[in-house]
Amino acid sequence: MFGKPEWFRAKQVGFGIVPVSWQGWAYSGGWSAAAVLPFWLLVMRHQPVEAAVWATLALAGLAYDVRQIRHAMRRPAAVPPPATTQPAADVVRLATGLGLKSPPRRWFRAWH
């Protein structure tokens, strides 16, 4: 899926999505050109079977993409967990080192 849910809104009636931003309109135009232009060229070259196969694959790809965008629209946005706050006394104690235990004496034996 290359289209973003922010570019579209769900249709009021029926299945599908409607562009609401210039990116959505550009995306829709790109999909239309990518589906219609090869189909038209294949028809002009008198290759109706290939044109039908192309149209089927293009519509299947479009349906899949619309389904993915609609699914992303329904999915709730990830909400980060609330930050935990410490009381002011804990912050002062951590900043000044007051109230913290001293390291064991054996840590200092290696340095003497």
75-96: b (≥16 Cβ within 10 Å) or e: eeeeeeeeeeeeeeeeeeeeee
- CA dist., res. 31 & res. 36, Å (int): 9
64 part of a folded domain: yes
42 part of a folded domain: yes
pLDDT digits (tens, 9 = 90+) for 30-64: 989 999 999 999 999 999 999 999 999 999 998 89
pLDDT digits (tens, 9 = 90+) for 15-37: 788 989 999 999 999 989 999 99
Mean per-residue pLDDT over the chain, rounded: 81
18 part of a folded domain: yes
- CA dist., res. 9 & res. 19, Å (int): 7
**Structural domains of the chain, count:** 1
50 part of a folded domain: yes
pLDDT above 80 for 1: no
Could you list the residue range(s) of the whole structural domain that residue 36 is in?
5-74
Q: Which DSSP helix (H) or strand (E) runs through 24?
A: helix 22-44
Average pLDDT over residues 87-108: 65
104 part of a folded domain: no
23 part of a folded domain: yes
80 part of a folded domain: no
CB within 8 A of 68, min separation 6: which ones? 1
Tell me how far the alpha carbon of residue 3 is from its chain's centroid.
9
Q: What is the pTM of this model?
A: 0.59
- CA dist., res. 109 & res. 81, Å (int): 44
38 part of a folded domain: yes
